[in-house]
Chain A
Amino acid sequence: MSIDWFAFVIVAVATLVASMVVVGFYGLGMRLLAVATDAAPTRQPAVRLSAYACFAVCVAAVLYGIYLIVPAFH
């Protein structure tokens, strides 16, 4: 009976990295968006743009993850 322990390490690391990236960037994006909204009189397009960039990173991370698991793409 051989158990592929390495597979569990992969699952753990993949889960950790994927969640941290998605949660981290989503949180960051929200924070930047909040900052942009706070300073209503002085517009801050740069902050708002970087917030959207953060959300884009989330979407990209998710799409990449799905790309990885679908055998049809390889």
Chain B
Amino acid sequence: MVVLVIALALFFDFTNGFHDTANAMATPIATGAIKPKAAVLLAAILNLVGAFLSTEVAQTISGGLIREGEGGIQISPVMIFAGLIGAIVWNMITWLLGLPSSSSHALFGGLIGAAIVGAGFAAVDYGVVVSKLLLPAVLAPLIAGTVAYLGTKLAYAITRRQGNSAAPKRGGFRYGQIFSSSLVALAHGTNDAQKTMGVITLVLIAGGFQSAGSGPVFWVIAACGLAIALGTYSGGWRIIRTMGSGLTEVKPAQGFAAETSTASAILASSHLGFALSTTQVASGSVIGSGLGRKGAKVRWNTAGRIGIGWLLTLPAAGGVGALAAWVAHLGVAGIIIDAVAGILIILAMYVVSQRSKVGHDNAISDVDQAGEVVKIKRKRKKKKDRLEAGQ
């Protein structure tokens, strides 16, 4: 059971990397700052490095979220298994429907739902849920968005050159983006790889292999880092394929500001053990930086749709996790039913992903969708921009 959960958790980690490569690397590839292959490799390596940097978030999940061990509720590997199934199922559903959602929140939702069904409402430490999950989920994108807005304003203000014919020469931000997006990849490793580490540590504690309250051990850190890095690397083909399709119009200066604030917000939060959704923070930054440009307007419809997707994820994944836990508690047959359902869903995901339908809705990432929230007046000097790019 423990081995099965670890395998499932690593698979979840892999899909996470697979799905999120685009968040970090889409803009520098789009602006031509870096070749797709190099970008993907860079992101994979930095994800691996990030996984080793800090384990605060892993400890939030393994040590705080669910009261385990002595005096608390005995959490079983079966519950964690059910929670993971819940998370994967919910991810699959949202992915098929094209709803933006956060795989991190799906994971937490699934775990919480399964724990409540398995051990009652007292199993979950709601203080930790609110202070390290819910509040960061709301505040971190807001912070990142505000900072990205200010950063974009600042970048444009500094590089604005008045008078004579001198061009503002903002093309250099394109090279800055290589670094800023690398930082996003690093930050992704410090936050998202940790979540899987937390889950694996939790199952090791539940299975009695590790004492309650202890942090992740080395092989867990290494395995999670590798899984997310591999996922990131193999997710690259998606980006390369979608290069031809329409990307949200993000200027290098704007992208640089957005990525810098995303990376700082995630790194700061990781340090304090906040388990947040990197996708949501990045979306907040993209929206914020879009607003920082002249003549920007918010498309409230799109923004609202994204918001609803975010709100829905935690309880919905909780529901699926609870259902899976309920089935699993029927005994061995229940576990088999869960496992079969999980495998079917993973297979379905694979089949659908093989279909070469790459539209704007599933093309790049949820962050790209966030870019559509902001409507920016198109400038007429397109030609000049292109000339600059050619330099």
Type the 1/0 row for A1-36, where 1 means its CB is closer than 8 Å to any CB of B.
Answer: 111100110111011101110111011101101100
Evaluate whether A20 and B176 lie within 8 angstroms (CB atoms) in the complex, with A11-B143, A65-B267, A69-B271 already known: no
Evaluate whether A31 and B154 lie within 8 angstroms (CB atoms) in the complex, with A1-B126, A7-B272 already known: no
Within 54-78 of B, Cβ neighbours of A (below 8 Å) are at 54-55
Give the shortest distance, in Å, between B161 (CB) and chain A (any CB): 7
Complex Cα distance A14/B180, Å? 16
Are A69 and B270 interface neighbours, CB within 8 A? yes
Give the shortest distance, in Å, between A60 (CB) and chain B (any CB): 13
Are B256 and A11 interface neighbours, CB within 8 A? no
Q: Report the interface size for chain B: residues with CB under 8 A from the other chain.
A: 50
- What residues of chain B lie closer than 8 Å to A33, measured between beta carbons? 169, 172
Evaluate whether A19 and B264 lie within 8 angstroms (CB atoms) in the complex, with A2-B127, A30-B170, A34-B169 already known: yes
Are A15 and B265 interface neighbours, CB within 8 A? yes
Evaluate whether A24 and B154 lie within 8 angstroms (CB atoms) in the complex, with A3-B127, A11-B143 already known: yes
Are A23 and B155 interface neighbours, CB within 8 A? yes
Evaluate whether A10 and B272 lie within 8 angstroms (CB atoms) in the complex, with A16-B147, A16-B150, A33-B172 already known: yes
Give the shortest distance, in Å, between A25 (CB) and chain B (any CB): 9
Query: Across the two chains, which residue of chain A brings its CB closest to B276?
Result: A11
Are A23 and B270 interface neighbours, CB within 8 A? no
- What residues of chain B lie closer than 8 Å to A11, measured between beta carbons? 136, 139-140, 143, 265, 268-269, 272, 274
Give the shortest distance, in Å, between B68 (CB) and chain A (any CB): 19
Are A14 and B268 interface neighbours, CB within 8 A? yes
Q: Is B151 an interface residue (CB 8 A)?
A: yes
- What residues of chain A lie closer than 8 Å to B172, measured between beta carbons? 30, 33-34
Complex Cα distance A33/B124, Å? 55
Within 153-174 of B, Cβ neighbours of A (below 8 Å) are at 154-155, 158-159, 161, 166-170, 172-173
Query: Across the two chains, which residue of chain B brings its CB closest to A13?
Result: B268
Q: Is B196 an interface residue (CB 8 A)?
A: no
Are B154 and A27 interface neighbours, CB within 8 A? yes
A and B contact pairs by CB, cutoff 8 A, 20 listed: A1-B126, A8-B143, A11-B269, A11-B272, A14-B264, A16-B146, A18-B260, A18-B268, A19-B148, A20-B147, A23-B257, A30-B172, A30-B173, A31-B158, A34-B159, A34-B161, A34-B168, A37-B169, A38-B166, A69-B270
Secondary structure of the A side of the interface? helix
- What residues of chain B lie closer than 8 Å to A71, measured between beta carbons? 54-55
Complex Cα distance A34/B67, Å? 58
Are A15 and B131 interface neighbours, CB within 8 A? no
Evaluate whether A70 and B53 lie within 8 angstroms (CB atoms) in the complex, with A10-B272, A27-B154 already known: yes
- What residues of chain A lie closer than 8 Å to B158, measured between beta carbons? 24, 27-28, 31
Are B143 and A12 interface neighbours, CB within 8 A? yes
- What residues of chain A lie closer than 8 Å to B167, measured between beta carbons? 34
Q: Which of A4, A10, A30, A62 contacts B183 (CB 8 A)?
A: A62
Are B260 and A19 interface neighbours, CB within 8 A? yes
Type the 1/0 row for B25-61, where 1 means its CB is closer than 8 Å to any CB of A.
Answer: 0000000000000000000000000000111000000
Complex Cα distance A33/B268, Å? 31
Give the shortest distance, in Å, between B135 (CB) and chain A (any CB): 7
Give the shortest distance, in Å, between A64 (CB) and chain B (any CB): 12
